[in-house]
Amino acid sequence: MKTLISLTSLLAGCSILVANYDSNEYGLINKIRTYAELYDCSKSNVDNLYELSVELKNFSQYLPRNDASFNLTTKLNTLIFQLHNKNNPNEVYCKEKLNNIVSSAEEIQRVIGRKPK
């Protein structure tokens, strides 16, 4: 019985230290990944992608115990900003940047998806 109580206390303590899964945060990163996979390099698509990345960064900023996710979303936002800020990028640059965005978004999905639900 003491072991069960100790184990329960330990698990409860661990859950305090780890941020819980947030379906809104996961949904935003999923949307960014999907946009980067499906859409071309038109200015309106890049603008939409940038807007989503700012929304994700702002959303994740003040969630409790969410520093790791916030740091990742900030880096992703910077990556997307580089594409957004480029005037008339050539197709090769844009496609490569979108591939990097997809890879980064997928990794962030893994991190967010591993959080306790």
Q: What is the pLDDT of residues 7-18, one digit of tens each?
A: 344 344 444 445
pLDDT band per the 50, 70, 90 thresholds, residue 3: very low
pTM of the model: 0.80
Q: Cα–Cα distance between 85 and 93 in angstroms, integer?
A: 13
Considering the chain, what is the average pLDDT of its residues?
86
Q: Cα–Cα distance between 69 and 54 in angstroms, integer?
A: 14
pLDDT score for 22: 86
pLDDT score for 18: 53
Q: Cα–Cα distance between 111 and 7 in angstroms, integer?
A: 25
Instruction: Find the DSSP H helices in 18-87.
Output: 23-38, 43-61, 67-85
Domain boundaries, the chain: 20-113
pLDDT band per the 50, 70, 90 thresholds, residue 19: low
